[in-house]
Amino acid sequence: MTIHSVEGACHEPPLILLADDDRLTRTILCEALQKEGYRVAEVSDGQACLEAYKAVRPNLVLLDAMMPVMNGFDCCTRLLTLPGSHHTPILMITGLDDQTSVDWAFQVGATDYVTKPIHWSVLRQRVRILIEKSQLYQELEQAYDKLKLVASVDSLTQVYNRRVFDEYLDSQWQNLLNEQSPLSLILGDIDEFKAYNDTYGHQAGDYCLHKVASALKQSIKYPTDLVARYGGEEFAVVLPKTSAAGAVHVAETIQTQVAALNLAHVGSCTKKHVTISLGVASTIPSNESSAAALVRAADKALYQAKAQGGNCVIFKN
């Protein structure tokens, strides 16, 4: 694979992956595309195109239909199985102008096609339009992802919100019901938080919530574990495939991490720094129970921890 860059570009131009077995055609197209401001990666067959696509992630694939090793139709079919490829336009170049070949190109997933001999003015406009559409689609998708993130994350603590917690707990319950693996839940409540707000003010209270949320995130170990703000000064930690003993260990780690923040709390009756009470529940999901029952068990454990003076971990089976 050869990559041709654009000299003097102040930002990285779009990259076109050109696959054609004819050296002269590749040379002419490379020069023309570079003059339009594109970078070009060139290969000579369909198999090399697949490997190059995985290596360079182009903005557009310019694909000759008839090549040795692997033709363009087969290459197009396989390209669309690669991760992220559904956003990449594929422009097929073919010397076959019959309706069957055109239909075949679209059936295998080509976005558009041009025929040989290539009319540069036509190809130039199609390349430009396809890349602009692809970039617009990606920008819209990125904006959508940002909106989803905003809708999923509590703005103050930067952990997931209650809606995500509810959905995630229900989905994990269903997953682990089939696997017959344990599901554990921790509910935590900052001790005497109202007194903290009354003593230090709501701005300090917001800072306290943010720091405690960070301590919770640092205490989990696996990508499937989830920390969420449950409401007010309460937090929830979902621990899929974690036993009761493992969940209690995570809760004790949270307790240690929160204490290590060393946030002064002169109004506390337990310690003179911010502490947290934690209720732990664990079960193997079954049709006889529910995710709501797990939440109730963790909530009862948390209530018991608060009743015992706070700053402790209580497990309820």
Question: What distance in Å separates the CA atoms of residue 14 and residue 113, rounded to the nearest whole number?
Answer: 19
Token couple for 48: 């090399």
| 36, 233, 234, 252: the active-site residue | 233
Reference 27, options 13, 14, 42; nearest CA is 42
Contact 235, 220 (CB under 8 A): no
Residue 272 is classified by DSSP as S
Q: Which residues of 283-312 are buried (b: 16+ CB within 10 A; e: fewer)?
A: bebeeeeebeebbebbbebbbebbeeebbb
**Secondary element (H or E) of residue 309:** none
The CATH fold of domain 2-150 = Rossmann fold (3.40.50)
Contact 24, 42 (CB under 8 A): no
Token couple for 191: 């001790």
Question: What distance in Å separates the CA atoms of residue 295 and residue 289, rounded to the nearest whole number?
Answer: 11
Q: Which residues of 127-147 are buried (b: 16+ CB within 10 A; e: fewer)?
A: beebbeebeeeeeeeeeeeee
In this predicted structure, what is the pLDDT of residue 287? 93
Give the count of beta carbons closer than 10 Å to the beta carbon of residue 314.
Answer: 21
> Which CATH architecture describes the domain 162-316?
2-Layer Sandwich (3.30)
In this predicted structure, what is the pLDDT of residue 124? 92
Contact 190, 213 (CB under 8 A): no
233 included as an active-site residue: yes
Predicted TM-score of the model (pTM): 0.63
Question: Which amino acid is residue 218, in one-letter code?
Answer: Q
Q: What is the pLDDT along the chain (317 residues), one digit of tens a residue?
A: 666 665 554 568 999 999 999 999 999 999 999 999 999 999 999 999 999 999 999 999 999 988 989 999 999 999 999 987 878 999 998 876 667 878 888 999 999 988 888 889 899 999 999 999 888 888 888 787 777 777 899 999 999 999 999 999 999 999 999 899 999 999 999 999 999 999 999 999 999 999 999 999 999 999 999 999 999 999 999 999 999 999 999 999 999 999 999 999 988 877 889 999 999 999 999 999 999 999 999 999 999 999 999 999 999 87
Handedness of CA 166, 170, 176, 180 (dihedral sign): positive
What is the full DSSP assignment across 60-128? EEEEESS-SSS-HHHHHHHHTTSTTGGGS-EEEEES--SHHHHHHHHHTT-SEEEESSP-HHHHHHHHH
Question: Which amino acid is residue 39, in one-letter code?
Answer: R
Question: What distance in Å separates the CA atoms of residue 242 and residue 182, rounded to the nearest whole number?
Answer: 6
Location of structure tokens 């692809």: 134
In this predicted structure, what is the pLDDT of residue 97? 64
All structural domains of the chain with their residue ranges: 2-150, 162-316
